[in-house]
Structure 1
Amino acid sequence: MREPHMVFRKSSYSGARTQDCVEVADLPGGAAVRDTQNRRLGHLTFDAAEWRAFLTDVKRDRL
C-alpha cells in the first residue's frame, strides 16, 4: 500500500496517563500505526480488512 502524506493522531485506545501510546493515521483503504515514543523507527500499514479485524478484536477485549 502506497502511503500519501500521513497525519498521525494519538489512538483513543492509548492510555491517557501512560507512556504506552500509539499514533494512527487514516489512509485511503487502510491505516498506519506508529509508536509515539519511537516515531523515527517508522510505521506499520494495514489494509482496510486487516484494520477492521484488528479494531474488532481490540473492542471485543475491552468489553
Structure 2
Amino acid sequence: MEAREELEDAQTEEEVESVVKRNKERIRTEAEALERYFAGEDYESALRSCVRLRYWQGIEEAAKERP
C-alpha cells in the first residue's frame, strides 16, 4: 500500500504513529543515499533521490496536519 494511502486509512493514533515511524526511517535512508550519490558525483541518481525524499517529506507534513 502506498504510504499516503496508509496515512489516509489510519483510524487510530497508533496507526498514524506507525506510519510516521516507518516514514521517518524512509527519510533517513533516502537522506543517506542522497549523501552517497553526491559524494560519488552521481547527480542523476541524486536527482531521483531528491524526488523520493520530497515525497516522504510530503507524507510527514500530511501526518502533522491530521486532526
Q: Which structure shows the bigger proportion of residues in strand conformation?
A: 1
- TM-score, normalization by structure 1: 0.30
| Structure possessing the higher radius of gyration over alpha carbons | 2
- TM-score, normalization by structure 2: 0.29
